[in-house]
A and B are shown apart, each in its own frame.
Chain A
Amino acid sequence: MPHPILETTDLTVRFGGHVAVDHITCNFNAGELTAIVGPNGAGKTTYFNLISGQIPVSEGRVKLNGTDITRMSVAQRTHRGIGRAFQLTNLFPNLSVLENIRLVVQSKAGRGFNILSMADSHAELTGPAYEILERIRMTDQADQVVSELSHGDQRKLEVALLIALDPLVYMFDEPTAGMSVDEAPVVLDLIAELKTRKDRAILLVEHKMDVIRTLADRIIVLHNGALAADGDPAEVMASDVVQEAYMGRDLEEALANV
């Protein structure tokens, strides 16, 4: 029986007069991968920002495992199990690839205030960081400085940081955008692998229909900041609501043009 890990109730944010996220009430279950679609500017990234706390909400609540986290700081939410990969790559550019991941492992282990030991001497932090690198197939680049990586590799590392964090709620914001055809599968395989973890909820903003078809258990459609549709991927894609939201165009066609 799936139970909701994450609940958003009437979640709303206004920028001046513009309502970017409009009373979204939605639950996300453990063991479920939800694809979030909608044209550019629909409010998908902003919805994520409200959940992970980068932007304060104007109205509504966010609950994680029944606890209200609406007023918590970003770092507090992270420690409770909200994790986020960003649409625009958001790394530590002058640190090495391994260090970027090690920092995440270290945060999870609560070792940030360890002030008198050598960072490199912590095998219990470096080891897991290396394992993540192996999973993302970037061990060769371990010591490379992030700013020297190709765009595709930076996108991969962006995802790797979230995998290293291993939160209860995974939020991917267009993870494969800007990746080459042979890079994207590595990331998609990792996300597919996460689906076997039945105690995690996965939220995935994605435009590619074939990806949604293979990965998603459920799809929600955002339109002008509001929840326009929610349900089984095949049904939603064919539904009238969506056809209407996209002004008569087929969803796939509409999304293909964003």
Chain B
Amino acid sequence: MIPFMIDGQPVEGKEGGNVLEVALDAGIEIPHLCYNESVRPYGACRLCLVEVSRRGRTRLTTACTYPVLEGIEVYTQTEKVLRARRMIIELILAMCPGDQLIQDMAREMGVHAVRFKQEDKDCILCGLCSRICEEVVGAHAIQFAFRGDRREMIPPFLGEAMNCIACGACVVACPVDVIKMKEEGDERTIVRWKRTLKMKQCKVCGNYFAPWFQLEKFRDQAKLQKDFFDVCYTCRT
């Protein structure tokens, strides 16, 4: 374990870990939106900014991407940090004025008015959905499109995300809950990715339990016999 300090409190992190995770573990709150332990840190939202002092030099940096290093001093509540944080949440709020979570976070940080031109987006461009889809699911169904201020998270060419297995991992992970999933009759739809898949019906109970496409993929990958997914998870055994 590697010892260092956060806000004057001695903490320890493991080799290869990041400052944000150690802080949260120690009960030190740092706001964050694009961090999820299951995938590599990405530094997209910039909300987790902290000041880090190392060898006499101090700089503002994102805690989620800053590695645990011996002897560093991290500050999460300096005037500079708080000011930067307020600016960032104001920018995100200007981009996505309708997101409840962003509104709440902004209010808590003391941001009550937005000075920038407001857009009407709902996605905060945190990239979590695509990272989860890639690193956890392995489906590579969605990716950022375009660059700079035109950047967007959309299904490929704005059509149906053909690699999507409708597993819902991104639905659960999206911090602002804008990826919706619908199930109607024998179909499941991941609305944002325009992906609709037929569901498989259990041979025993008749319930629709998972998308065909998904089950076929699992069967293929794990080399299971043809009838392996004929019955649902409950009716098996």
Q: Are A and B bound to each other?
A: no
| Residues of chain A whose beta carbon lies under 8 Å from any beta carbon of chain B | none
B positions within 8 Å CB-CB of A: none
